[in-house]
Structure 1
Amino acid sequence: MPEARAQERAAERRRTLGQLIRYTLIGGSGVTLDLVAFLLLHNWAGMHEQFANAISTTLGITNNFILNALFTFERRDRIVVRFLRFYAVGLTGIVLTYLLFLVFTDALGLDANIVKVGSLPLVLALQFVLNRKWSFA
């Protein structure tokens, strides 16, 4: 029996690692969409960084939800509830990035583009854990 349990734990670790890899790859497409939209809205259209961030992040969240529902967590049930949860988790990224803008851009004068790029790995890690445990549980 202990060997069977060890095999189950190993299989779960492999499954989690596979999900993390797919989540990261899909996240890359969402990050790219988010960043391109942010740069266009903020630098080209002249939109304030907070508004540009809210719009660009929403685009990335929607992209990532669709792809993660299909390929990472393979869950297609309760789609509206799952999207609302996924979006709520996505809002944590907006809030975290907002706070980073306040500290690093507004208070310390760093370029908003650098702060946006620097926030992405932290936001990705936080959201994977929350989405795996809540949105797609």
Structure 2
Amino acid sequence: MTSKVFEMRFAKVYPLLVGKVEKKGKTKAQLDEIIFWLTGYDAVGLENALEDGRNFEAFFAQAPAKNPKRRLITGVFCGVRVEEIKDPLMQEIRYLDKLVDELARGKKFENILRVRNAFVFG
């Protein structure tokens, strides 16, 4: 059984994300940089994803280079710890949600993009 969110068109959600960050004084360019960092899309790839109507499942499946540092994204979003989500696609969606939330809350950009060196044991 697939979640309805998997079938949602990314182009339908994207303006809502832009609105969320702009309402908090951030820019569409900052949002796009987060998306580029997370997925490996560039400006042309993101525009194509918005124009071709791909859903979330296709958006993440076709991501050119998912950032390995995305695994450093932790915390709670909508009452669920993102690092404990079992479904890989839902986890990717929640990674994006968490980063957008951090941007909207004014977290430092270097911290959002997990720039600092971090050790991952596993």
Judge same fold: TM > 0.5, yes or no: no
State TM-score, norm by structure 2: 0.27
Bigger-Rg structure (1/2): 1
Give the number of the structure whose residues are more often helix, by fraction: 1
Greater RCO, CA 8 A, separation 6+? 2
State TM-score, norm by structure 1: 0.25
